[in-house]
Structure 1
Amino acid sequence: MILSLALIILCFGRVYAFNTLFSTPNCQLNADLRGLNAQKLDPPIILKTVAQPGSCSSSEQIRYEKPEDSIKLAYVTPWNGRGYDLAKWFASKFTHISPVWYQLVLEDNMKPELRGGHDVDQVWLQELKSAYRPPKVIPRVQLQLSQKAAETILYYPQGQTEHLADILVAEVEKYGYDGVTLELPAPHVFTALIRRIGDALHDIEKELVLVIPPQHTREQYGMVFNANHIDEVVDEVDYFSVMTYDHAGAVGREGPNSPLPWMEEVVGGLVLDTKDDFEYVGDDLDEEVDREDREKVRARKILMGLPFYGYRFSRARAPEAYTASNYLDLLKKESRSSISWDELSKEHRLVGSGGSLWYPSMLSLLYRLQLAEEKGVVWELLFGSWDRGWTNSLMSFNMRQSVS
């Protein structure tokens, strides 16, 4: 799971940083960028656009409009220094920043060990706090359990859940974090542990974001997080960060990384009541209102993941994750290759001599932002090594106008 997350963070593009979904101003794209918001793309156009210089001083944050209630979470990793810079430059555009720093390891000896503290950058944390509108800092903690430790927590949890929660609370208080982003295997199984950690953080007025995997196939129903599981922990978890990407790899065939119909199905499975879970009683309006209220509560807590990296497929080798730098290098070599638009998945694909590459484009991401708005959910993104001038240009674009 963390490998997928790491790859995304490494691949965030200068084409893909966003304004709030619910902006009021009718802003327009820089003329040089408008050519990217199209189904027909050519490598020379992309290369010319990414070469445009730009700058973004911290003083420009003051000009950003007042944010609405939408939540915007960005992940940053210690192995991609550019992400730290982007987080500082655009700190006021995001409500939450999650540095991927920690691992909480529990082996057979049942003695938990918190690792990753050496990655903590206190100077960077202070710079975030000094932003015009500072975001909340909620570091990612990956819980790694041996089989024995997992079984112990599930069947003999006395004292174990409290100990893990206490370790996280102590680290939050030590550095003044605003909460924790928790990633653990099979979160739908460990709801009792999640509730305990959430309660412990809420006791000190901090937040808990839970990373959850998506359902890739119908055969996985009941084996991944769904709306019922959200209801079990909805009071203890502030937001659910759903990993709506890596679909082609999960199903084992070439294709789009994050097809739009699949994303819609995943979000629907997390938000909507199912017929089995909810029985309609004639024209009982109270029951209907209760159902709609539950769905609205779930939707407000969903952070829909947006992919900022691609996969290259060929017969000669296994699928390769493509970062932004890989992508631009390939465009230079394959300048005459065609980039086609897949209408079903709403993604672009480059077909060249070495195979095919599915890579996110401005248009594909705008469709996904529109989906988030339609479903009433919010979104997450991942920082990586891209030019800040490009990023700043897109920050001032109103996403409502982008998809016809």
Structure 2
Amino acid sequence: MRAINAQIIWCILLGSQYVLCTLTPDSKNKNKRDSKFLRGPQDNDVFTLNLVSPEPLAKDILIHHEGYYKDTALRRFNGTVLGYVTPWNSHGYDIAKIFAKKFDIISPVWLQIVKRGDEYAIAGDHDIDAGWINDVRRKGKVQQQQQLRTVKFFPRIIFDHFTDRDIKLLLSDAKERTELNEMLIRVCKQHGFDGLVLEVWSQLAGRIDDKILYTLVLQMAKELQKQKIRLILVIPPQRKDMPNLFGEKHMDKLYKYIYAFSLMTYDYSTVQRPGANAPLYWVRSAVEHIVPDGCQDMEVKRAKILLGLNMYGNDYTPDGGGPITYGPYLDLLRHVKKHLTHDERDMENFFEIRTETGRHIVFYPTLYSINERIQLAQQLGVGISIWELGQGLNYFYDLF
């Protein structure tokens, strides 16, 4: 076990002598391994198979990642679980159906608020898939304490191609906000949505006065609530360079009116500052920054926080690199002969390799790293929001 920081990563990547592994395995060996892969429903879960290890073997990931425990109705985490689905990742649609009983809310990333002349309108509605929504709802039905629970749908919405004038008019004119909210209500009723996930705070916080931003969000939440439509607000985590975009004072002002808060606790590291995607200590501090231990209504407030959990990773190279999802990750993982390294400070796993394309240091979720964050969420009394379904490995959902 060892910890790693940005300087060490770049020394490794740029060093001339460091080589961890050989080049791409030959196709015969690859095909031989592929024949051992386990796919679909299995009799044993990842805990029974002892796969939740701080230093997992690469071969175990390759063999088991496409399998999952056959009882997909089994839930281990008792908080709220939201899963984001995007139209550019079709596997996420399948994941939502297979594991529907593990989710409380699905948030398809479909919709944008746009201006068409002086009118507010919705773009992206061509992506709305009513048949899939019905399938997920049907598969997600669970009998709980003499009540039937099913999955709720809260599409994410953003403001798209708004000019400074459009923003200024919306923020300064109550009539404009009423027209916007009426349009959103019509869309929700037309498609049977249970609520909306609003991503606006990161866009505007720090640019405008908090009081104006409160007015926009609160008026929307209250008008939607009158129609039994709920609002989830996406919020940024605390960062050293932007510490006060959303904190305790904001939560105190909003929590009674907002259904939940989707906290974006990922993307801590970048190609300019390589490392873990979401260090565990930072994830904890992000929650405590918003709702400190022992504060008034702590349990109520924390139950509304949905801790962001990334299902993607990062591949760092001498040229920079970038985000990586399951396909490219597995291709690189085939070069690893033994265990993945455990970063004991950040509580994530990574591996270092050299291929025909150059050197790579890859941080990507594992059963162990995800389980640590689920346990933290349980300990803090918060829920979970997954970005995004379909980017990770199938057997990850045994953990939820």
TM-score (norm 2): 0.77
What secondary structure sits across from 1:248 in the alignment? coil
Counterpart of 1:179?
Answer: 195
Q: Kindly state the Cα deviation for residue 314 of structure 1 after the two structures are TM-superposed.
A: 1.6
Contact kept in structure 2, 1:33 and 1:49, CA below 8 Å: no
Contact kept in structure 2, 1:106 and 1:146, CA below 8 Å: no
Q: Could you list the per-position Cα deviations for residues 41-72 of structure 1 after superposition, in whole angstroms to 9, with x for gaps in the alignment? A: 33222212226x5685xxx56x546995x211
Shift in alpha-carbon separation, 1:119–1:32, aligned structure 2, 3 A: same
Q: Tell me if 1:367 matches 2:368.
A: no
User: 1:163-312 residue pairs with structure 2 within 5 A?
Assistant: 163-184=179-200, 185-186=203-204, 189=210, 190-217=213-240, 219-222=241-244, 224-249=245-270, 252-272=272-292, 292-312=295-315
Q: Could you list the per-position Cα deviations for residues 174-230 of structure 1 after superposition, in whole angstroms to 9, with x for gaps in the alignment? A: 01110111111235742211111111111011211111111221x4122x1112112
Q: Kindly state the Cα deviation for residue 355 of structure 1 after the two structures are TM-superposed.
A: 2.3
Q: Kindly state the Cα deviation for residue 309 of structure 1 after the two structures are TM-superposed.
A: 0.9
Counterpart of 1:342?
Answer: 343
2:64 aligned to 43, 49, 74, which one? 49
Contact kept in structure 1, 2:336 and 2:353, CA below 8 Å: no
Q: Kindly state the Cα deviation for residue 75 of structure 1 after the two structures are TM-superposed.
A: 0.9
Counterpart of 1:136?
Answer: 152
**How many aligned residue pairs are there?**
339
Counterpart of 2:108?
Answer: 99
Q: How far apart, in 1, do the equivalents of 2:248 and 2:124 lie?
A: 32
Q: Kindly state the Cα deviation for residue 271 of structure 1 after the two structures are TM-superposed.
A: 0.8
Question: What code does the residue aligned with 1:259 have?
Answer: P
Counterpart of 2:165?
Answer: 148
Q: How far apart, in 2, do the equivalents of 1:336 and 1:28 lie?
A: 25
Counterpart of 2:93?
Answer: 84
What secondary structure sits across from 1:159 in the alignment? helix
Q: Kindly state the Cα deviation for residue 30 of structure 1 after the two structures are TM-superposed.
A: 4.4
Contact kept in structure 2, 1:311 and 1:320, CA below 8 Å: yes
What secondary structure sits across from 1:215 in the alignment? coil
What secondary structure sits across from 2:119 in the alignment? coil
1:327 aligned to 314, 329, 343, which one? 329
Q: Kindly state the Cα deviation for residue 307 of structure 1 after the two structures are TM-superposed.
A: 1.2
Contact kept in structure 1, 2:341 and 2:351, CA below 8 Å: yes
Question: What code does the residue aligned with 1:351 have?
Answer: E
Contact kept in structure 2, 1:338 and 1:352, CA below 8 Å: no
**CA RMSD, aligned part only?**
2.8
Shift in alpha-carbon separation, 1:54–1:238, aligned structure 2, 3 A: closer
Q: How far apart, in 1, do the equivalents of 2:392 and 2:369 lie?
A: 19
Q: Tell me if 1:384 matches 2:381.
A: no
Q: Kindly state the Cα deviation for residue 28 of structure 1 after the two structures are TM-superposed.
A: 7.6
Q: How far apart, in 2, do the equivalents of 1:65 and 1:75 lie?
A: 18
- Kindly, what percent of the aligned residue pairs are identical? 28
The runs of 5 or more residues in structure 2 that have no matched partner are 1-36, 143-149
Contact kept in structure 2, 1:143 and 1:182, CA below 8 Å: no
Q: How far apart, in 1, do the equivalents of 2:170 and 2:44 lie?
A: 53
Q: Kindly state the Cα deviation for residue 241 of structure 1 after the two structures are TM-superposed.
A: 0.1
Shift in alpha-carbon separation, 1:352–1:368, aligned structure 2, 3 A: same
Q: How far apart, in 1, do the equivalents of 2:332 and 2:179 lie?
A: 49
Shift in alpha-carbon separation, 1:205–1:296, aligned structure 2, 3 A: same
Q: How far apart, in 1, do the equivalents of 2:230 and 2:156 lie?
A: 12
What secondary structure sits across from 1:351 in the alignment? strand
Counterpart of 2:14?
Answer: none
What secondary structure sits across from 1:306 in the alignment? strand
Q: Kindly state the Cα deviation for residue 324 of structure 1 after the two structures are TM-superposed.
A: 0.4
Contact kept in structure 1, 2:62 and 2:330, CA below 8 Å: yes
Q: How far apart, in 2, do the equivalents of 1:65 and 1:102 lie?
A: 30
The runs of 5 or more residues in structure 1 that have no matched partner are 1-13, 16-26, 274-290, 400-404
Q: Kindly state the Cα deviation for residue 302 of structure 1 after the two structures are TM-superposed.
A: 0.3
What secondary structure sits across from 1:384 in the alignment? coil
User: 1:21-36 residue pairs with structure 2 within 5 A?
Assistant: 29-30=45-46, 33-35=49-51
Question: What code does the residue aligned with 2:157 have?
Answer: V
Shift in alpha-carbon separation, 1:359–1:67, aligned structure 2, 3 A: closer
Q: Kindly state the Cα deviation for residue 374 of structure 1 after the two structures are TM-superposed.
A: 1.6
Shift in alpha-carbon separation, 1:387–1:369, aligned structure 2, 3 A: closer
Q: Could you list the per-position Cα deviations for residues 69-97 of structure 1 after superposition, in whole angstroms to 9, with x for gaps in the alignment? A: x2111111111122112212222221111
Q: Could you list the per-position Cα deviations for residues 135-184 of structure 1 after superposition, in whole angstroms to 9, with x for gaps in the alignment? A: 01111111233222222333x22312111111111100101110111111
Contact kept in structure 2, 1:311 and 1:319, CA below 8 Å: yes
Shift in alpha-carbon separation, 1:387–1:371, aligned structure 2, 3 A: closer
Contact kept in structure 2, 1:98 and 1:138, CA below 8 Å: yes
Q: How far apart, in 1, do the equivalents of 2:347 and 2:194 lie?
A: 36
Q: Kindly state the Cα deviation for residue 336 of structure 1 after the two structures are TM-superposed.
A: 3.1
Contact kept in structure 2, 1:337 and 1:352, CA below 8 Å: no
